[in-house]
Amino acid sequence: KKLTIGMIPADGIGREVLPAAQRAIEALGSSIPKPTFVPLLAGFELFTRTGQALPEETVDSLKHECNAAMFGAVSSPSRKVTGYSSPIVALRKKLDLYANVRPVKSVDGTSGRKVDMVIVRENTECLYIKEETQTTTPAGKEARATRLITERASRRIGQMAFEIALNRPNRHLTIVHKSNVLSVTDGLFRETVRAVPKLPEVGGRYDAVTVDEQLVDSMVYRMFREPEVFDVAVAPNMYGDIISDAAAALVGSLGLVPSVNAGDSFVMGEPVHGSAPDIVGKSIANPIAAIRSAAMLLSHLGHHDAAKRIDDAVDSVLREGQVLTPDLGGKSTTEEVTEAVVKRI
């Protein structure tokens, strides 16, 4: 099967770490089908130059030419910019990449807590539908956001989470929500995920998975107190975003945490971190999150041995602890870490 990977570095350190992911894939040699990399444009910098954050050609290429993609990071401003909308949020919707799967795992020998969990984040709805309004009332401005939770999206993310949990040694799933306050929206999410094992088409397949739940605030608290108790966690979009940055802090750096955006027919690797304007241009961005995202992408396409070779190479670089970027207390550059990983692949 062909391997045509759209490469979308986008903004900031996305451009510094995506080449590392490509080099890791190339280092695998003939153990995978020869990959073709298609450079594609998107991002806020592109928007400021051309007025377009996500050109039609990029979406067309992903839909018709590529069977996978890697995304770097995008710099979405905190203020409202007329005409701009985040290309990553749009891509997840356009390609129906409904799950963002984020494994957070500590490596023996590195600082940070002992963590081995997978966060499964719903990727298409919740507050990310971005339906916001503002009105002016006699008392001042008033802003509202609409939050969408559907049974369909909750069910498919639930199924994905149960499937992932089933294939892990501990077979445990934690549903994260806040249905003590949002009993209608989060209530629907919670009920729907809870009902997945009883679906007729599931046929008892998930009976071996134990299930519990956490309110999102106590989830963060418990992750910091006893992260080792968590296995797989499933959450609506916004909570999933927040708890994964928290989990990244536990393992030592956002620069370590990979993800894939997955749908039924396409997969896009993406480091969990953003464009990191505070370190851009200094050649010190940790490339490991991007490299591991490439491994996840390959694994998703069935190339499990190739993915393992990349992960093993990363693990040994981390364990040896000689070549690390500053976020992990080292003095090495993006290039030096990439080189060390590539050599071990």
Report the interface residues with Mg ion, using CB under 5 A: 241
Q: Quick one: tokens of 250?
A: 């536990």
Task: Pick between residue 174 and residue 286 the one whose CB is nearest to ligand NAI.
Answer: 286
Of residues 58, 286, 293, 338, which one binds ligand NAI by CB under 6 A?
A: 286
Q: Which of 289, 295, 317, 342 binds ligand NAI (CB under 6 A)?
A: 289
What are the distances in angstroms from CA 92 to CA 13, 74, 98, 125, 286?
20, 13, 7, 10, 24
Instruction: Give the shortest CB-274-to-Mg ion separation in angstroms.
Output: 7
268 binding ligand NAI? (CB under 6 A): no
**Binding residue (CB under 6 A) for ligand NAI from 22, 58, 76, 123:** 76
Rounded CA gap, 120 and 117, in Å? 10
Q: Is 74 in the site for ligand NAI (CB under 6 A)?
A: yes
CB-CB contact of 193 with 161 (8 Å): yes
Helix, strand, coil percent content, the chain, rounded in steps of 5: 45, 20, 35
Give whichever of 192 and 253 is closer to ligand NAI, judged by the CB atom: 253
The yes or no reply on residue 285 touching ligand NAI (CB under 6 A) is yes
| Contact partner at residue 75 from ligand NAI, Mg ion, none, CB < 5 to 8 Å by partner kind | ligand NAI
Nearer Cβ to Mg ion (241/315): 241
Place of tokens 């509202």: 144
Cα–Cα distance, 316 to 39 (Å, whole number): 30
- The pairing of strands 260-262 and 99-105 is antiparallel
Enter the DSSP assignment of 34: P
Interaction of residue 73 with ligand NAI, rule CB under 6 A: yes
* Binding residues vs ligand NAI (CB under 6 A): 13, 17, 73-76, 88, 253-255, 273-279, 285-286, 289, 325, 327
